[in-house]
Structure 1
Amino acid sequence: MTSTVEPNADLLNSVLGIQPGTHLHAVRDARDKVASATQGSHDLFFDQALENNLSLSERLWVAYYAARLTPHATLTAHYLEQLQALGADKTVRAAIDFADIETLDDARLRGILSFTRTLIESPVHGDQAALQALQQQGLSTAEIVVLAQLIAFLSYQMRLAAGLGALLSAGAA
């Protein structure tokens, strides 16, 4: 399965079905700088060529897990589709879907997903101890910074998607 979102297309417009010519599309276009920066951040975080950082698979697992925790069904489905295109490990998905990440054999991924849960559910607990736990799992300082930035971006993306979805449901489109 491959993504239904064209490269360089606006992910949120695509997955939410915001059509050109609608009022909501015009509102987003009025703040093109914001929409462009949002999409640019997404493109950067999920670029396969991102070097010296978390693997694309790890980043997509973070996105999938964050979308499930938030919850945002549309983005959950999108990130799952991306993972499936990579041949994602079904045992990791099962651990996430059944809220059982502690059973993952991959200690690094377990640590990454645990940190994701912490920042999504209780950001105040993303403290020094949480960062040290990531270091103990072998993450470099650069990887930890990217992970925290990715989770912050995903939190923003999901809140934006929820707001746009609410406007669509209310008939603002």
Structure 2
Amino acid sequence: MLESTDVELSGLPDDIDKSIICFVDTWRDACAQMENGALPTRKVLSAERLRQWRDDICIYEYQPVREDFLVRIDAPSIVANNGESFQNSTPREIDLKYGTCLMAALLKTMRQKKPTFHYVRIVSASGEPRQWLRVLLPVQTFDRFGDPIDQILGVRFAYEPMHCI
């Protein structure tokens, strides 16, 4: 049995790696390029702009008809760490397997249209603790008809807090 804890944080912790701050700042810079407070588009947050984190980014695409997300891209670093890919599955499947609250976090991020940060701790059936900081950033892309599609860029960084959360 897995034991899991998801804790939403009000912001990025002070004791995190600078690459995480840079990732979030890249999203904020992209927001500043948008008009009327629109979310950054995948055109602005291009693969080239995000290349430093390309192996760490998951892309979750909102499916309004199902009120669900689809994992469009599962980060290679996460696949390597977990030994399995969730590409083309749903966050609900991830939540059921690992006891996390990813689906709720994705919905909140999408509805608030701002980043969310979570401390996630899992103790596997073998007793191995795994801890990370989950960063979720809302973005938009467009279908072939020009209609907006909500997506969330999700990144998971290994993280052990200096203070008790």
Same-fold status (TM-score > 0.5): no
TMscore range, shorter length:
0.3 to 0.5
TM-score, L = length of structure 1: 0.33
Q: Kindly indicate which of the two structures has a greater share of residues assigned to strand.
A: 2
Q: Which has the higher helix share?
A: 1
Look at both structures and tell me which one has the larger radius of gyration over its CA atoms: 1
